[in-house]
A and B are shown apart, each in its own frame.
Chain A
Amino acid sequence: MNIKIQNLTKRYGEQKAVDDISFEVKTGEILGFLGPNGAGKTTTMKLITNFLEVQEGDIIINGKSVKGHADTLKRHIGYLPEHNPLYTDMAVLDYLAFCAALQQVPKNTIPNKVREMVRLCGLDREKHKRINELSKGYRQRVGLAQAMIHDPEILILDEPTTGLDPNQIVEIRELIRQLGRQKTVILSTHILPEVEATCDRILIINKGKIVADGTSATLRKQAQGKEVLRVQIEDGENETVYDALQNVYTTELIDIVDTAKNVFEIQSVADMSSKREIFKLCAEKGWVLTEMTALETKLEDIFRDLTLN
């Protein structure tokens, strides 16, 4: 199911939590929603899941507007809210069965569905416990299980890996990636490596507006089109090497990282690569090139660039 968001705006009094955003997510796509606290991620998710009513703009799911079709569309959406609210007085199995029944899963298939979710989310040992006896990580799994129990075409996950230990994070990411092949997934997170590991596409939102949209590779390119190389050259005098590098026509900026070991960071002129020229230079001068690494702009830097203004 495709989700199309058109000029969506949400006001809380005077303040705009979401400010005229538009984007589209297609089936089989995992969209990572990034942004600082209060950027409007959760509000957007609440609007898509129809917890909040759309007042300005529109959300079209599978060709139907959420205005007027909310009650039929909700059945196709699985939602894990931000703080993962649960009926803590219920046992895991009862709770999952309750959620399945609410999402109109046919009664005779509910036990199978519950069993499947318990297996998928690794809840087998905890399934008879009450939810208030579970640790945070297991509660998060229960939250994920309730979101997926009716096999929804759309999954909206608000910070799905908070509270999980590193092993669980890897498992959940893997699970989301698997599910994402047939479903439309939107997930929000603060953890940047997570987006890179899980998502096909990244949307960065700040102060209610979209500031970047694309794969992590295209975002990198957008943020900094210039190549940065880390180079170590042995057998040369530091200053001579520095001067020689500066004379290479493809280089723009040279930083000395380590004088003793002759380590430099070289930024190339836009749309040019200095790799071949540096290699040629070393060969010419008889220097030994012991390291040449292309440095990638970190997603953290892109994020900071786009959201700190």
Chain B
Amino acid sequence: MNPIWTITKRELASFFDSLIAYILLIIFLGFCGIFTWLTGSDIFLMGQASLQGFFNIAIWVLLFFVPALTMRMVAEEKKSGTIELLLTKAVTDRQLVIGKFLACLLLVIIALLFTLPYYISVSMLGNIDHGATWCGYLGLTLMGAAYIAIGLFASSITDNQIVAFLLAITFGVVFMVVLGFVGNSLPGFIGETLSYLDFRGHFGSMARGVIDTKDVVYFLSVTALGLLLTEVIIGRLRT
């Protein structure tokens, strides 16, 4: 069996055995549900059959949901010493990182699948733009992947789960808010570059139903970079 899948399976089993998965799913669906249907910019006020409101909420909920998944991924292994066990087995550092990444990504996808009833309900209420909705889901998945890679990196640079959690949220806030804010207030090339790195801009166009290669490549690059950095940090444990 491929070592990546072996690690993914163990991590997923551990999520569900320890109830972490259930608790996080309930919290994710709870927050998304409340803010989509009951309060805030809720769906009934907009007068449009669209999941735009849900997408705008979900990106913020993911900002907290993903770090809670990733915080223990590497930090806990370092603290308990099990990292030594993994790194001396026939697994490369890259397979290890990808295995853990996939476990988190699958859980994010499961969480998103549970919101499909929203889609079905809204589509029965009116004329929903199916293309835009699926695009939005794709955007959420890509953004989730980027969050996971950032979270794994945060988890790899410490052996304390709380520090990993807080760091991951901080990095997330930088990508969600700080870059865009600073970028808009700076003139010229630097300002443009920083604004370009902002998560929300890229997600926004996807949620409107526009799949631009630029946006997809952007999220995939952030993901790849995060995973690569995690791999590098794990490799440095060997020195």
Contact = CB atoms under 8 A, between A and B. Distances in A.
A90 B11 CA distance: 11
Main secondary structure of the interface of A (DSSP, over half): loop
Contact of A85 (B1, B18, B80, B90): B80
B84 A102 contact: no
A289 interface: no
Nearest to A98: B10
B90 A103 contact: yes
Interface stretch (A47-55, A119-127, A237-245, A264-272): A47-55
B91 interface: yes
A103 B14 contact: no
Given A83-B81, A86-B82, A50 B88 contact: yes
Interface stretch (A70-78, A228-236, A253-261): A70-78
Nearest to A94: B13
Contacts of B214: none
B90 A102 contact: yes
B81 A81 contact: yes
Main secondary structure of the interface of B (DSSP, over half): helix
B126 to A, nearest CB: 47
Nearest to A75: B90
Interface residues of A, number: 29
B69 to A, nearest CB: 16
Given A71-B92, A85-B80, A89-B14, A52 B1 contact: no
Given A85-B80, A89-B17, A102-B3, A51 B87 contact: yes
Interface in A78-99: 79, 81, 83, 85-90, 94, 98-99
A276 interface: no
Interface string B77-96: 00011101111111110000
B85 to A, nearest CB: 5
Contacts of B82: 85-87
A128 B14 CA distance: 16
B88 A53 contact: no
Nearest to A72: B90
Given A52-B238, A52-B239, A107-B1, A102 B89 contact: yes
Which A-B residue pairs are the 6 nearest by beta carbons?
A85-B81, A75-B90, A53-B238, A102-B89, A101-B6, A85-B82
Given A52-B238, A81-B81, A99-B85, 15 more contacts: A49-B88, A50-B238, A51-B84, A74-B89, A75-B90, A85-B85, A87-B14, A89-B14, A89-B17, A101-B1, A102-B86, A102-B89, A103-B89, A104-B90, A146-B85
Interface of A: 46, 49-53, 55, 71, 74-75, 77, 79, 81, 83, 85-90, 94, 98-99, 101-104, 107, 146
